[in-house]
Amino acid sequence: MAKRKRANSKSDGASVYVGIVGLGYVGLPLAREFCKVGARVLGFDVNSKTVATINRGRSPIKHIPNATMTDMVRSGQFRATENMRDLSKPDAILICVPTPLTKNREPDLQYVEATCHTITKYLRKGQLVVLESTTYPGTTREVMLPILEQSGLKVEKDFFLAYSPEREDPGNKSFRTSTIPKVIGGYGKESLRRALQVYRCAIETLVPVENCEVAEAAKILENTYRCINIALVNELKMLFDRMGIDVWEVIRAAGTKPFGFNAFYPGPGLGGHCIPIDPFYLTWKARQYALPTRFIELAGEINTSMPEYVIQRTADALNERRKSLKGSRILVLGLAYKPDIDDVRESPSLELIEMLKAKGAKVDYNDPYIPQTHKQREYDLRMKSKPLTVKALAGYDAVLIATNHSDYDYAWIVRHAKLVVDTRNATASVRGGRSKIVKA
């Protein structure tokens, strides 16, 4: 691992002019780190509302405070724009756009491809283009390069190309963008050199690798590792439940071993932009080499089945109380995919709500970070967060804990709810009302 200390003063980054395409949970934190060292940053986004919000000095995501965004904009270092003609201005263009799956669980690179086609119109000699979006090995070379060379410019001669996967973890207070080691793979030696030169001013530790494919594969490995281990504990959760064993207590006990064990935790399904998606990118690519990735595909099947398991556990719990799921009033606690953030990308809560509604339940949700839902690629719930009150809780047949936000007073919730279905072990420390709690 090559360690390079980040610039110690703003003057060290003042010569860097960076363009960032996609001003969301990856692009904005990256922009913040470059601004901290005095670099100029031009942000690009197709969402006019996002651009306007940023240019007013307001942050569109929770974990970047409004005060930080105001400082970035007022300093003159950072500006957002919808005008793609300005792509010719920065020395480096960092692409941070979504890479979702199609309905058939195949890679959907439409945003990467569209961005590259746009860059091609304005690409100039000497520019560096870096993809940060998670994808399968070969994307930079096989998908991006042919599009970019339609400009008439040649890679490693007229422009430079690299891949450096994002490693954002929204809400993680132990790490931030600048302190997470950054893997960088260049198309060639000069592309790598220039990418290292750009990132070294804002990121403390750089990890250069042989080429783009190694960097792409490293990101896939990181998230496939997590996906498989989460699938294991999800399967054990279902097994241990039938055996009358608390999987959370098992994990706690196993976690006391000081070597050879890393704790992973079950849940109602996978959320976030990476773990539910990345392994399927790899399985799709593997089929081109006639090699089935059975282990990864099985993990994916287990994880995607968890919302159905939660619904069944909820239905069983209601049935024991002489209630049917159809017609029952259900409150889903937590819409975000993980605690204490406002990110709903691939959140299992969305699927849980749709499945409950499809079975005839009357569903509301509460999330202190998400006052109302917004239209997404696969979901358009058109719902608003319901306030938590004693009267409201008492009116629901079941409260389903889907996200364990620290803002929630779980003892208070259990006290006033008729039934609590806990998918996150959030009620572990609650002493009273245990007969109301069902683990799922």
Contact 220, 137 (CB under 8 A): yes
Spatial distance between the Cα atoms of 71 and 78, rounded to a whole number of angstroms: 9
| CATH (one of 3.40.50.720, 3.90.1150.10, 3.90.1170.30, 3.30.1330.90) for 2-210 | 3.40.50.720
Position 380 scores a pLDDT of 87
Around Cβ 70, how many Cβ atoms within 10 Å? 14
DSSP-H helix ranges across 244-347: 247-254, 278-287, 294-320
Angle of helix 27-36 relative to helix 66-74, nearest 10 degrees?
60
For the chain, the straight-line distance linking the first and the last C-alpha, in angstroms and rounded, comes to 42
Describe the strand order of the beta sheet including 398-401 as a list of residue ranges: 362-366, 329-333, 398-401, 420-422, 437-439
Catalytic pick among 35, 116, 201, 274? 274
> What's the fold here for domain 225-439?
Rossmann fold (3.40.50)
Position 96 scores a pLDDT of 97
Contact 93, 129 (CB under 8 A): yes
Query: How many residues are listed for the chain in this entry?
Result: 440
Question: To which H or E segment does residue 80 belong?
Answer: strand 78-81
Closest CA to 53 of 29, 32, 79, 75: 79
Supply angle C-alpha 215, 218, 224, rounded to 5: 145
Position 437 scores a pLDDT of 96
According to DSSP, the β-strands at 78-81 and 40-44 are parallel
Token duo for residue 430: 């609650």
Position 379 scores a pLDDT of 86
Q: Which amino acid is at 399?
A: V
Identical topology for domains 2-210 and 225-439: yes
Coil, helix or strand at residue 270: coil
Token duo for residue 331: 């409150």
Buried b (16+ CB within 10 A) or exposed e, 354-386: ebbeebebebbbbbbbbeebeeeeebebeeebe
> Cα–Cα distances in Å, from 375 out to 241, 272, 341, 372?
36, 16, 18, 10
Coil, helix or strand at residue 175: coil
Spatial distance between the Cα atoms of 148 and 21, rounded to a whole number of angstroms: 15
Question: To which H or E segment does residue 51 belong?
Answer: helix 48-55
- What are the extents of the domains in the chain? 2-210, 225-439
Around Cβ 69, how many Cβ atoms within 10 Å? 25
Question: To which H or E segment does residue 366 belong?
Answer: strand 362-366
> Cα–Cα distances in Å, from 437 out to 235, 309, 313?
21, 16, 12
Q: Is 35 a catalytic site residue?
A: no
Spatial distance between the Cα atoms of 359 and 285, rounded to a whole number of angstroms: 36
Position 12 scores a pLDDT of 63
**What's the predicted TM-score (pTM) here?**
0.90
Residue-level pLDDT, tens digit, the chain, 440 residues: 454 444 444 446 778 999 999 999 999 999 999 999 999 999 999 999 999 999 999 999 888 999 999 999 999 999 999 999 999 999 999 999 999 888 888 899 999 999 999 999 999 999 999 999 999 999 999 999 999 999 999 999 999 999 999 998 877 888 889 999 999 999 999 999 999 999 999 999 999 999 999 999 999 999 999 999 999 999 999 999 999 999 999 999 999 999 999 999 999 998 877 777 888 889 999 999 999 899 999 998 999 999 999 999 999 999 999 999 999 999 999 999 999 999 998 899 999 999 999 999 999 999 999 999 988 878 889 999 999 999 999 999 999 999 999 999 999 999 999 999 999 999 999 999 999 999 99
DSSP string over 392-437: HHHT-SEEEE-S--TT--HHHHHHH-S-EEESS-TTTT--S-GGGE
Instruction: Find the Cα–Cα–Cα–Cα dihedral 102, 161, 196, 137, rounded to 10°.
Output: 40
Position 4 scores a pLDDT of 46
Residue 142 is classified by DSSP as I
